[in-house]
Structures are given as structure tokens and as C-alpha cells.
Amino acid sequence: MRVLLLLSLAVLFTACASGDDDYAGEMREQHDGETPDPSGATADAARLDVVTEEVEYATVGGETVTGTLVRPASATGPLPGVIVIHEWWGLNDNVRDMARRIANEGYAALAVDLYGGEVADTPDGAMALMQTAMGQEDALTDNLRQAHEYLAGREQAPAVGSVGWCFGGMWSLRAALALPAELDAAVIFYGQPITDPARLASLQMPVLALFGEADGSISMDSVRAFESAMSEAGVDGEVISYEGAEHAFANPSGQRYDAAAAEDAWGRTTAFLSENLKQ
């Protein structure tokens, strides 16, 4: 019986690892020929009246993890917190700019690092970092749990949400599953959906999920199945899809940026966070 159990676990682990590798490969196809270069669409973030600092927010596997904390310059007391989760490129300037934009809306925004300080500038490099990270699910979950503790404890945030894009969108959902009663809102930008209602049933926070209909890595069938699964599980979820928008449509430093879709998604995100995080 013990041998059969070990064999079953080995098969399950292999299948999960294979699935993560397949997803990383799909991301590689979606980002073929791309580089995370800054564009004019990010220029306004640098001029926002916010304060940015590098902070040590977690210790994972004996290693200190450093992220970027951004707050409005005029803030004097505790603010609602937002965990900002990077794309497959890593914690780069684009993600820090997104954290600045979120902070400017009245939040303590903590841009976390799930890659151990590594950042990619080529699709092959990003795929390798993503594959390595996906093989360390427990460590990444612990990382995000400590990010929540940092905002709720150190920053005294009265409410905490999460937002992520691509790889980070997937981990925004996984953070919600790891913190079903602690997290107060979750935003998912084109992250790998979960379509099993039983896995989603623990979620107690509202969820906003945003997808591009022309995303070659996330089918509309899986998006609709995710929406149906949330409904069946009793999750307060809203799914928005944008006609003609591709994967990474909201990344202003990417080559698939769709300004109309990105602006609408940003408006929905800020309204959603305000409704659910601000008392």
C-alpha cells in the first residue's frame, strides 16, 4: 500500500510539473520576440507624488526577500494595502511603475519578488525563471503570505488586496486561495484560471478577472469555465474579456499593449479596489 501511495504521488507531481512547464512554454510563445522595454505609456508614473522604498518583507528558505513599497507622499497614517505581483519578467521597472500608480490611488502598494532578485529581459530568460519558480510553489505561497503579514502588521493596513499580471495574475488567484479569509480582494490580469468549483469554494473575497479574447495561451472556453466555476462555488466574482486584446494587453512596456483595453481594465481595477479595500 505504501509503495502504491508513493507511486501515485510521484505520478501526480510529474503531471503537475509537466502542466507548469506546458504553461511556461505557452507564455514563451505569447512573448516571442518581445522585450520589456519602457514606453511612453509609463512616463506619467515617474511624476506621481509618491514615496518609494526597498523593504525586506519576508524570509523564505533562510533568504531575505526584498520588495518595493510605495505610498502616497502625503500619507500620514495606515492605508489599505495592495500586494502587487509581477509578470513572468520579474520585479522590473514596469511593475514598480504599476505599484506607483496603485499607491497614487491611496494605498500602500508592495511590489513583491517571487524570483529571488532575478529579472529577465528575453523570453527564454523569463521562461527559465518562471519554470524555476513554479517548482517552488510552497516557497512562493509563503512569500505572499508574509507580504500580507507585512502590510497588515508592519503597515497596519486595515484591508489588503492583491493584483497581478500574467504569471502574477495566476499567483494573485493562488494568493487568494492561500489566504481565503485574510485577503479582502483579488484582481487577476490574464492569469491561468482554475475551473474546479471545489478548489474555489474557500474564497471569501470578491474577485475581478480580466482577459483578452485573442490571448493564445488562455482560451475563452477556460475563461468561461472559470466564471462558471466561481458562480457554482458561490464566489463573488466578475470576469471581463476584451475583444481583440492579446495576452499582456495591459503591459505598457510590452509589444501587445492595447491602450483602450488597458485603460478600461485600469478603471475597473481602481473602482474594484476602492469599493472593497477602502472603509
Q: Percentage of residues in the chain with pLDDT exceeding 70?
A: 90
Q: Is the pLDDT of residue 38 over 80?
A: no
Sheet order of strands, 237-242 included: 50-60, 63-72, 108-111, 81-85, 160-165, 185-189, 207-212, 237-242
CA 125 to chain centre: 19
Average per-residue pLDDT in the chain?
90
Residue 245 CB burial class (10 angstroms; 0-12, 13-18, ≥19): buried
Q: Is the pLDDT of residue 18 over 60?
A: no
Given this model, what pLDDT does residue 250 score?
94
- Please answer whether residues 226 and 239 qualify as being in contact, where contact means their C-beta atoms are separated by less than 8 angstroms: yes
Q: What is the mean pLDDT of residues 218-241?
A: 98
Domain annotation for the chain: domains and CATH numbers? 38-277 (3.40.50.1820)
**How would you classify the pairing of strands 63-72 and 108-111?**
antiparallel
Q: What is the DSSP letter of 163?
A: E
Q: Percentage of residues in the chain with pLDDT exceeding 90?
A: 81
Element (H, E) at 144: helix 137-149
Q: What is the mean pLDDT of residues 4-23?
A: 43
- Residue 30 grid coordinates: 505569447
CA-to-CA separations, 233 to 43, 79, 196, 198, 229, in angstroms, rounded: 41, 31, 9, 7, 6
Over the stretch 57-114, which tens digit does the pLDDT of each residue have?
Answer: 999 999 999 999 999 999 989 999 999 999 999 999 999 999 999 999 999 999 999 9
